[in-house]
Structure 1
Amino acid sequence: MSATTASATPRSDAPQASPAGSLRARTSQLWRSSRAQLAQAWAWPLVPQGFIAMLLIAAGSISPAFLPADAPLLAALPWFNSALARLLSTAVVLVGLVTLFEAWLRLRPRAGRRTAPTATWAIWSAPLLFAPPIFSRDAYSYAAQGLVVSRGMDPYQTGPIAVPGPFADQVDPLWLFTPAPYGPLALQLQRIVVELSGGHALVAAIAMRVPALVAMGVIAWALPRLATRMGVSRDHAVWLGVISPLTLLHLVGGAHNDAVMIALVVAGLLLASDGRWVVASVAVAAGAGFKQTAVLALVGVAGLAYRHAAGGPGEGPLRSAVDQRAYLRIASKVGLLAFLAFTALTVVTGLGWGWIANLSVPGSVLSFLSPVTMAGAALSWALGALGVPQEWAAMALPAVQGCGAVAAVLALGWITWVLGPRRPVAASAAAFMAFTLGGPTVYPWYVLWGAVLLGATLTDRRIVQCLVWATGWMLAYAALDVAVVNGLWILALAGIGWGVLRIGRARLDRVDEPLMGGSANDRQWSPAANTGNAPTGSDSRN
Structure 2
Amino acid sequence: MVGAGSLRRIPAGRSDGDAAPLNGTERAQLSRLRRWGTVGSLLLMLGAGSSYGSASPIPNPIDGIRIAGLLSRIGPAALACSYTGIGLVVLCWFLIGRLAAPGRPRRLSRSQLSHTLAMWAVPLLVTPPLFSRDVYSYLAIGSMLRHGFNPYDSGPYDSLGDGDPFAHQVDVRWQHTPSPYGPVYLIIARALVGIVGDHVVIGILVQRLVELLGVAMIVWALPRLARICGFDPVAALWLGALNPLVLFHLIGGGHNEALMLGFMLAGLVIGYRRSPLAVVTGTVLISCGVGIKATAAMALAFLVIMVALRAGGRWRDLFRVGAVVGMVAALTFLVVTWASGAGFGWINALGTPGMVRSFLSLSTSLGVGSGQIGLLLGLGDHTQAVLDVMQPVGTLIGAVIALVVMWQCWQRRLNPILGLGIAMGAFVLLSPVIQPWYLLWAALPLACATADARYRRVTVWLTVLFSVTIMPNGATIAVFVIVQAVVVAAVGVAVVWWLLRRQGLLPTKDGADSEPDRPTGGRPDRTVSSAD
Relative to the length of structure 2, the TM-score reads 0.81
In structure 2, relative to structure 1, the CA distance for the partners of 1:432 and 1:187 (3 Å cut) is same
Give the equivalent residue in structure 1 for 2:337: 346
Give the equivalent residue in structure 1 for 2:7: none
Give the equivalent residue in structure 2 for 1:333: 324
Aligned length: 472
- Conserved 8 A contact 1:299-1:427: no
Q: Give the Å deviation of 1:517.
A: 9.1
Give the equivalent residue in structure 1 for 2:290: 288
1:490 to 483, 500, 507: 483
In structure 2, relative to structure 1, the CA distance for the partners of 1:395 and 1:169 (3 Å cut) is closer
Give the equivalent residue in structure 1 for 2:399: 409
Give the equivalent residue in structure 1 for 2:39: 52
**SS at 1:255's partner residue?**
coil
Give the equivalent residue in structure 2 for 1:163: 160
Partner Cα separation in structure 2 for residue 271 and residue 89 of structure 1: 44
Q: Give the Å deviation of 1:245.
A: 0.5
Partner Cα separation in structure 2 for residue 436 and residue 495 of structure 1: 32
AA in 2 matched with 1:120: T
AA in 1 matched with 2:242: I
Q: Give the Å deviation of 1:61.
A: 0.7
1:426 to 418, 428, 447: 418
| Gap runs ≥5 in structure 2 | 1-26, 502-507, 520-526
In structure 2, relative to structure 1, the CA distance for the partners of 1:209 and 1:305 (3 Å cut) is same
Q: Give the Å deviation of 1:87.
A: 2.1
Q: Give the Å deviation of 1:211.
A: 1.0
Partner Cα separation in structure 2 for residue 345 and residue 157 of structure 1: 18
Give the equivalent residue in structure 1 for 2:14: none
AA in 1 matched with 2:231: V
Give the equivalent residue in structure 2 for 1:302: 304
2:48 to 52, 61, 82: 61
- Conserved 8 A contact 2:308-2:314: no
Partner Cα separation in structure 2 for residue 505 and residue 88 of structure 1: 23
Q: Give the Å deviation of 1:507.
A: 13
Relative to the length of structure 1, the TM-score reads 0.79
1:380 to 371, 374, 377: 371
Give the equivalent residue in structure 1 for 2:76: 87
In structure 2, relative to structure 1, the CA distance for the partners of 1:224 and 1:495 (3 Å cut) is farther
Amino-acid identity (%): 31
In structure 2, relative to structure 1, the CA distance for the partners of 1:481 and 1:467 (3 Å cut) is farther
Runs of 4+ in 1 over 6 A off after TM superposition: 40-43, 480-483, 499-508, 514-518, 532-536
Higher relative contact order (CA 8 A, sep 6+): 2
Can you list the C-alpha shifts for 1:128-155, whole angstroms capped at 9, x where unaligned? Answer: 1111110010001111111111122211
Can you list the C-alpha shifts for 1:298-342, whole angstroms capped at 9, x where unaligned? Answer: 1221122123323xxxxxxxxxxx534432432333223212212
AA in 1 matched with 2:301: V
**SS at 2:240's partner residue?**
helix
Q: Give the Å deviation of 1:403.
A: 2.2
Kindly report which structure 2 residues correspond to 1:41-190, keeping only aligned pairs within 5 A, or say none: 44-65=31-52, 66-74=55-63, 80=69, 85-108=74-97, 109-110=100-101, 111-115=104-108, 116-161=112-157, 162-164=159-161, 165=163, 166-190=165-189
From the CA coordinates, give the structure whose radius of gyration is larger.
1
Q: Give the Å deviation of 1:381.
A: 0.8
In structure 2, relative to structure 1, the CA distance for the partners of 1:537 and 1:492 (3 Å cut) is closer
Give the equivalent residue in structure 2 for 1:33: none
Q: Give the Å deviation of 1:460.
A: 2.4
Partner Cα separation in structure 2 for residue 72 and residue 336 of structure 1: 49
Partner Cα separation in structure 1 for residue 202 and residue 370 of structure 2: 44
- Conserved 8 A contact 1:274-1:308: no
**SS at 1:358's partner residue?**
coil
In structure 2, relative to structure 1, the CA distance for the partners of 1:179 and 1:323 (3 Å cut) is same
**SS at 1:219's partner residue?**
helix
AA in 2 matched with 1:280: G
Moved more, 437-446 or 462-471: 462-471
